[in-house]
A = this chain, B = another copy of it.
């Protein structure tokens, strides 16, 4: 048997994984990895933490858990892979099954392949605005970007930065630069940052970032970047305002890097990514593709989408590497869309569809917001606010998001499995999760969220979200707002919208103080709205017909400064 030659193009995440899997499955195969950058296997999701100065050693982004830098010698010795760095694949001749390459020393050549795996990644999007080529305008996408921004941030104290885009990378860059002593302004054109979240939760993240000292501007675009002597000095907003700055970070997202694939005539999808089937095989049976450059299937909608995430790149690369050796045997099932992000002391995470995206996908949805601590109070509980989204007909959970100071990681991880497994709200409400006081509540936060949603689905509770409640208050119609917390809690913080305080424990005896009109709209709430829910049950039992619980209570109310 003649040894197979596998060529992998791209050396960040999917590429090395595909190459390693292929090499392990067939020790006789010749596996060649072409990488345009000087580095291999960069932990690119770690760039913001490197910029922040959380660690000084650049090599930490490049080495194995045992501390060995993943350079060509490592790939040759440990993996039996020939890694050619500083080497760009410039074209593919599919008929001859040849890749043409050129390296940074000006050398070029051609390599024949039996199977080719494209892991060409993505490129940062650049908005078409004047001034984007000024000095001081950066992206945070490559190791070279990270090195430049780290060098700048080392002397960043007292300087000013504008971040264009409040997505994952934008908010991570915001924290990183703020940690470096930089005065940071995030400018986001959409109604709120972190577009994977619905507004109720995203607004809480914004409040937290502002409380930490970052400026967050939303619903406004950048019109132009302006400078002096070729270097950026200010960002001009669409409304004419100017923000002086020494650095601009463009973080409006990434686009799949498909130049090679397009020029080779491979099929592309509707979103511009390389089309692959479930085996990660392109329209050419000898060419696979994986990572940011491909379109994958959303397991909830069944539709194709771009999903440029490091964890998926690894899983896709493993599938591509395996199928390139063994034939099409392993299927990549697609993504549900899971993400997590540190924003100062907050964590923000989402899995599955947000309410907005679920509605866009045509689902008839029902949702619940729940605020409750991650652990018992005696163990140093920290607050969490979650939102669960379900299909109102089948009860299937479509998505879950969670933000807060507490252990969001556990909540989002367990819910990512529940969403992928197709669990209903009723199934989640009975989940058997590990419990001990250092790790969770006896009724885990996500289970409690399922209980709230279950109560809503069964008509036991009528809820209203913070955003809806604010709109109702602002509309100015007849409305009775009932706070059922204790007097001391009321002294410490309140909505300040003309609400009446009747502590829950007194409500049954003080029903006569309520308006006589039993059809008057009433919104009840407490700190997290557990007592608000008890109040609703009491008021409905007393004949009131339009009582709504403000979901998540004061803990999820985003319209004032943090308490």
Contact = CB atoms under 8 A, between A and B. Distances in A.
Contacts of A315: 429-430, 432, 443, 447
A391 to B, nearest CB: 17
Interface string A503-544: 111111000000000000000001110010110011011000
B410 A409 contact: yes
Among A372, A526, A537: residue with most chain B CB under 10 A:
A537
A561 B81 CA distance: 37
Nearest to A336: B432
Contacts of A68: 486
Interface string A20-52: 000011011000000000000001011001100
B338 A432 contact: yes
Contact of A410 (B413, B447, B540): B413
A376 interface: yes
Count of identical protomers in the assembly: 2
Nearest to A528: B65
A65 B431 contact: no
Contacts of A309: 435
Contacts of A351: 432-434
Contacts of A355: none
Contacts of A350: 434
A386 interface: no
Interface in A335-352: 335-342, 347, 349-351
A417 B421 contact: yes
Nearest to A45: B437
Nearest to A416: B433
Interface residues of A, number: 111
A420 interface: yes
A238 interface: no
Contact of A60 (B57, B77, B79, B377): B377
Contacts of A73: 505
A414 interface: yes
Contacts of A485: 66
30 contacts: A28-B541, A43-B378, A43-B437, A45-B442, A46-B379, A46-B437, A50-B378, A54-B379, A66-B489, A66-B526, A172-B436, A309-B435, A310-B435, A311-B443, A315-B432, A315-B443, A332-B430, A336-B432, A338-B433, A339-B434, A342-B436, A351-B432, A407-B409, A409-B434, A409-B439, A413-B444, A414-B414, A417-B421, A417-B431, A421-B421
